[in-house]
Amino acid sequence: MHLARAALALCLSIVAACSTSDDASPPPTGLAEPDRAALARRLLTGPEWYRHAVVYEAYVRSLQDSNGDGVGDLPGLTSRLPELQALGVDALWLMPINPTPFADSGYDVADYTGVNPDYGTLADLDALLAAAHARGMRVMLDLVLNHTSDQHPWFQESRASRDNPKADWYVWSDTPSRADVGCGTFQAQFGAEAWTLSKARNQYYFHRFYPGQPDLNYRNPQVVKATLDAARFWLDRGVDGFRCDVIGLLVESADGCDMIPETQAYIRQLRALLDEYPDRAMVAESTNYETAVPYFGDGHDMFHMAFNFGFGYFWGFPFAGTEARAVSDKLEASRRGAPPGAQEALVIGSHDVSRAYVAAQKVPSRWRRAAFVQMTAAGTPFIYYGEELGLRPGKVKVVDSRDYQRTPMPWTRGPGHGFTTGTPWIPFGEGAEETSLEAEAGDPASDYAFYQRLLAARRGREAFGAGTMTFLHGDSPAVLAFERAGGGEAYLAVVSMDEAAPQTTRLSAVGGEGEPRLLFGAATAAREGDALVVTVPAEGMALFRLR
């Protein structure tokens, strides 16, 4: 095992040494190249760190097993921090690590201030935080506030009678409906009826998701206090923030239950809590796939970030076509009306949707081009674990079909793939041998090498984390082009949507002077008067520095 890890470390160092090759050409006259490592350290320090970070979504259960029981755990994740940092990761988002009966893979929380024994202990979390912080990496936790498990002590007490101290901590009704719960008049998210009878109370409780996930009653001030206290518990422990699960659904009304004023008022209380601590941030799981603007408030009183799922969950459709505007219009629309300070979180996959390999219909250039847009467009990129390897889906489900994209991480070739010495809790996805990190780290043409070079190219460049984004429309409808500017620099990103032929386009009003400098990818760009003529290979992409 130690020899395998040493060999893998050598492979990673070789790829890392090659990862800046696209950035090694001498700069044009008058275009000095600063110390990017020093700039990255500055940008990733202080309250604005989240704008410049690359965040890695980690399913602890599937990342690394440390004790041979086949289940990933916190010590295992801690042991893999060097590999994640070598990729270019600055922060981790951990899917729920709380105790759970696992009716929804951990999103049914049975204790807000504990750690799932499968994953370790609070001391193991403390060790992870210490190790990550020593490397300059942040750790964010999944905060599931809309509902608890039906095994949570709060619900166990609430369901026992109609007059106990927690009787009103959940949403109850004498009938399987309620006039003031507009979103409870239809089926729950996962197919069951939205109301389930509790025989002990002879009443129905509301659950937006599985029956084992009763919704909390946020009209009860005690619930508000208890959940804020839970968040404070983790902040006091040193976590760097939260990803907030289905946060827009906290409070129901007669008209619906998505980001109504009472929910927004709670979010402002949660933000005020985070603001008591230095350098913390939170990101919203939006339930609006058109825009995340309602989650930002005035830009400083609600969420720091919110996921753009309109692009992140549906990019496979435009990348199967040839129209650049199918991408640019979606990205522009999602940001329209956003207040100053709003920051989108950009994904091309997550634990809830198919692997990028599937969304791209097994065409590698599609998920690579989508990842290129994710890393260079306005927002903070979140990488779902294994995307950097182009992981394939699994074929076995333990809870539901989403398990197909939650299979163990293949670190090495051979049995167990470096994930476990035992039997994994769920089988690996197809092609685990060839998509293992060991296999890909030694191949400069691999998905891993692509991601590592791409992350290195954006690192220490303020324009990508906090700069402006301007879409440029030339005379080829198949070329997606946008300019990023900030920190006294400007960059041009171009992507060919055409998979059959190279594309040439003439772009006007492109900033900078002199010839652009190619930083990443393959394309040519030359100035002709006040325009820039760019040629991109079929399926190609490129990043240029303009000034």
Q: What is the per-residue pLDDT for 28?
A: 45
Cα distance between residue 112 and residue 192, in whole Å = 25
In the structure, what pLDDT confidence band is assigned to residue 255 with cuts at 50, 70 and 90? Answer: confident
Q: What is the per-residue pLDDT for 257?
A: 87
Q: What is the per-residue pLDDT for 191?
A: 66
Number of domains in the chain: 1
Q: What is the per-residue pLDDT for 10?
A: 43
Q: Does residue 477 fall inside a structural domain?
A: yes
> CA dist 290 to 149, 306, 346, 414, 509, Å?
30, 12, 14, 43, 29
What average pLDDT does this structure show over 197-203?
97
Q: What is the per-residue pLDDT for 17?
A: 41
Q: What is the per-residue pLDDT for 8?
A: 53
For the domain that residue 535 is a member of, what is the CATH number?
A: 2.60.40.1180
What average pLDDT does this structure show over 206-230?
97
Residues 230-246: pLDDT tens digits?
Answer: 999 999 999 999 999 99
Q: Are 199 and 140 in contact (CB under 8 A)?
A: no
DSSP 175: B
In which domain, by residue range, is 504 found? 468-545
In the structure, what pLDDT confidence band is assigned to residue 184 with cuts at 50, 70 and 90? Answer: low
Q: What is the per-residue pLDDT for 186?
A: 58
Q: Does residue 458 fall inside a structural domain?
A: no
Q: Does residue 497 fall inside a structural domain?
A: yes
3-state secondary structure 228-264: HHHHHHHHHHCCCEEEECCHHHCCCECCECCCCHHHH
In the structure, what pLDDT confidence band is assigned to residue 151 with cuts at 50, 70 and 90? Answer: very high
Which are the contacts of 297, defined by CB distance < 8 A and separation ≥ 6? 264, 267, 268, 271, 303, 339
Which residue in 236, 276, 528, 530 is the catalytic one? Answer: 276
Residue 334, H or E segment = helix 325-335
Q: What is the per-residue pLDDT for 245?
A: 98
What average pLDDT does this structure show over 517-526?
97
Q: Does residue 491 fall inside a structural domain?
A: yes
Q: What is the per-residue pLDDT for 275?
A: 98
* pLDDT(18) > 90: no
* pLDDT(163) > 80: yes
Residues 392-402: pLDDT tens digits?
Answer: 999 999 999 99
Q: Does residue 319 fall inside a structural domain?
A: no
Q: What is the per-residue pLDDT for 12?
A: 55
Q: What is the per-residue pLDDT for 33?
A: 87
Mean pLDDT of the chain: 93
Q: Does residue 309 fall inside a structural domain?
A: no
User: Which of 1-5, 172-176, 314-318, 341-345 is predicted with the least confidence, judged by mean pLDDT?
Assistant: 1-5
DSSP 440: H
> CA dist 306 to 50, 243, 311, 438, 486, Å?
12, 9, 13, 34, 21
In the structure, what pLDDT confidence band is assigned to residue 25 with cuts at 50, 70 and 90? Answer: very low
Cα distance between residue 163 and residue 340, in whole Å = 47
User: Which of 138-147, 451-460, 505-514 is predicted with the least confidence, judged by mean pLDDT?
Assistant: 505-514
Q: Does residue 136 fall inside a structural domain?
A: no
Residues 469-512: pLDDT tens digits?
Answer: 999 999 999 999 999 999 999 999 999 999 999 999 999 978 87
Q: What is the per-residue pLDDT for 513?
A: 77
Which residue in 22, 245, 447, 489 is the catalytic one? Answer: 245
DSSP 93: E
End-to-end CA, the chain: 47
Catalytic-residue membership of 163: no
Q: Are 36 and 439 in contact (CB under 8 A)?
A: no
Catalytic-residue membership of 104: no
Q: Does residue 49 fall inside a structural domain?
A: no
Q: What is the per-residue pLDDT for 29?
A: 42
What average pLDDT does this structure show over 81-89?
98
